[in-house]
Amino acid sequence: MTCRARRREQVIRAGAFLRDRRLAGAPRRTRRVRLPAPFAGAAQLGRWYATGQGSLVCTLTEKQRRDDMAQCRWCDKRGFFLAVDSNGLCRDCQPLIIEVRSRVRVLEDSMRLVREGKTFGTRLSRCDLVIEHAVHLAKFERKGVPTVSPSPSVIVSRYRALRTRLILDEANTVADKAREKASVASTPKARERALAAGILKVREVAETLDDTSGVKTLEQRLRHEIHRVTLDGFLEAARKAEFKGNVRKAIDQYKEALFFIRNDDIDDTQQESEISEIESKLKELGDT
């Protein structure tokens, strides 16, 4: 063994000795530590110096020693002779990278299915999976461990917003289908049933939303449409009876319509024209 190789071996072995003795936490003052005979004469060891008499001397301040130490980004272990990999992890924490890479693969695959999925259920479930894995990866991000680009915290923010948009878009699609079904229904009652079923479906789609204000607005519009259909049903029946000369039935249907308007959830001031029309018809038909 050459002199240089022997000296290097001494330095490495001295480093192992120091780690075992936990000398990295030495106080501010200069510290001399007696090394076993095999380490005597070891050359410069980082900021520690081995003398020919086998003493190890460190003249660094506490801050200088702390800045000089390697530190694991995950477990926060630090030391002069602590080895960390390119991800900033010590040997004990390096297996965590396997978990990170596995979650990143699932994350990227789920992000692709959110974009390309054919059904609402698929896209929503994959969006939830993206958020779940990104939230976990954000723990590594906060520790400075490399994960994925864009960063997990950015992904969480984007996909939570995307999830809300997916649900609202689906709710609007459901409402449009309910309107289409109501438009081809043959009777007012069938139109009411179609719109009411649409409201229930909208609620089912949006049950996992934190902010339901957008869905409530959509529900309110559908309720107004049901109200309009019900009122139009009474008025249509009254006009038919009036056309056929059945005055008694016409008066009865106009009264049903008036009662419905007077007792609904809509302010009467917003329905003044309908109320005025019905009252005029009742007078015209001789109702007292």
pLDDT along the chain (288 residues), means of 10: 55 54 44 46 44 47 56 85 86 91 94 93 94 94 91 94 93 93 89 92 87 86 90 89 88 89 80 86 79
Question: Residue ranges per domain, the chain?
Answer: 3-79, 96-167, 169-284
The predicted pLDDT at position 98 comes to 92
Amino acid at 257: A
Question: What distance in Å separates the CA atoms of residue 48 and residue 194, rounded to the nearest whole number?
Answer: 83
Report field, pTM of the whole predicted structure over 0.75: no
Q: Facing residues of 58 across strands? A: 31, 48
The predicted pLDDT at position 132 comes to 95
The structure tokens listed for 81 are 């002779």
Question: What distance in Å separates the CA atoms of residue 109 and residue 104, rounded to the nearest whole number?
Answer: 8
The predicted pLDDT at position 39 comes to 44
The predicted pLDDT at position 3 comes to 54
The predicted pLDDT at position 126 comes to 95
Question: What distance in Å separates the CA atoms of residue 95 and residue 74, rounded to the nearest whole number?
Answer: 11
Q: What are phi and psi of 26, to 5 degrees?
A: -60, 150
